[in-house]
Amino acid sequence: MMAVGPEGPEVIEPRPKAERSIGTLLSDLASESILLIRQELALLKAELHEKFSRLGQGATALGAGALIAYSGWLVLLAAAVLGLAEVLPGWAAALIVGVVVLGIGAALLLVGKNRFEAGSLAPKRTLRSLREDQEWLRERLR
């Protein structure tokens, strides 16, 4: 309900509740409720997109960490074989490489695990907004 005058758009304030009919009040409540539901759905969609993106990153880090840790295990096995088969400086190098690869794999596994925490997946903004909307509706219905 906007009027455009020579000075620009002018916002017309709604009439006080005492001057508005029940039909108008119910119509306003219905339209505002529909708008509110649409906004909440848009917020939920955006927040879930963000959470699923984060979940995908965590899954990727877990997969990469598992693959690197497995590679490190294979290198450690090769180092043990080389060390037992013949005592040469080569096994020490393989052992060092294996430990470093396992360390990198473990770090990636921890990053992936932290991305899967249950608390970080909850749509916190949507839940907070729904609580605010509930309070708003209570105030409007008084």
Domain presence at residue 77? yes
Domain presence at residue 115? yes
- Confidence (pLDDT) at 141: 75
Domain presence at residue 118? yes
Domain presence at residue 2? no
pLDDT tens-place string over residues 74-127: 887 787 767 666 656 777 777 777 787 789 889 999 888 887 776 666 777 888
Number of domains in the chain: 1
| Inter-residue contact 31 to 113 (CB < 8 Å) | no
Domain presence at residue 94? yes
Domain presence at residue 7? no
Domain presence at residue 133? yes
> What residue numbers bound the domain in which 29 lies?
21-140
Distance, in Å, from the CA atom of 72 to the CA atom of 95, rounded to the nearest integer, reads 9
